[in-house]
Amino acid sequence: MRLDGDEVDFSGTRRSPLNPWGGLGHLYLCAVQAGIAYNVLDDAIHFVREHARPIKHSTATRSVDDAYVQRTVGAIATKAHTVRSAVLIAAEELDRVREVPEELRRAAGAAASITIAQTQALAAEQTLEAAELLFDVGGGSATDRALGFDRHWRNARTVANHNPRDWKLAKTGAYYLTGEEPPTSGLF
């Protein structure tokens, strides 16, 4: 879906004294991961339909009928769907911060920030795994440099490097265990 500038409202999502986390930039990176995961799926489908052969010991005569290949494409599709779903949930939570009364906005902003941190960790993990699975749908021929399938993993890894996932997971755990708000640094 494409949005025009007049259809986007950033009020209440940027940093403010009541919502110092912002989170929109981090959510954007999550959406980029979702896009990469769906591009992996598109490439897997196209490659299987147009180029792949069934695995060596398969009883299928076409790759699209090979149960192993079907399972792998299903796993890639599930990972892409999971990332997209998580991004939409995080976006809804961030959007709701604007609707919360001012006296509750800081707590709502912290909760949204934690949701986005969780989404970033999940998006990086699932997208990287999907990019690796792409090579399982075509065996050695999927590694042909001309296909450029390695770009998906490299792009996902580059986006993931913008945020320290382990640190965010630790701060997420602290939030759930002790109620400690996440830091208001640019990393949240």
Does 1 map to a domain? Answer: no
The CATH number given to whatever domain includes residue 56 is: 1.20.140.10
Give residue 119's pLDDT. 97
pLDDT tens by residue, 94-112: 999 989 998 999 999 999 9
Q: Which residues contact 83 (CB under 8 A, 6 or more apart)?
A: 30, 33, 34, 37, 122, 123, 126, 127
Residue 7 lies in a domain: no
Which helix (DSSP H) or strand (DSSP E) does residue 65 occupy?
Answer: none
In a domain, 183, yes or no: no
Q: Which helix (H) or strand (E) holds 10?
A: none
Distance CA 149, CA 158 (A): 15
Asked if the structure places residue 73 within a domain, the reply is yes
Residue 82 falls inside a structural domain:
yes
Confidence at residue 15, expressed as pLDDT on a 0 to 100 scale: 65
Asked if the structure places residue 14 within a domain, the reply is: no
Residue 144 CA: distances (Å) to CA of 23, 47, 92, 125, 147: 38, 12, 40, 24, 6
In a domain, 109, yes or no: yes
Residue 12 lies inside a defined structural domain of this protein = no
- Ranking 12-16, 88-92, 106-110 by mean pLDDT, the lowest is 12-16
Q: Supply the pLDDT for residue 70.
A: 95
pLDDT given at position 85: 98
pTM: 0.88
The domain of 52 spans 19-178
Residue 16: the pLDDT is 66
How many structural domains does the chain have? 1
For 42-56, the pLDDT digits (tens) are: 999 999 999 877 777
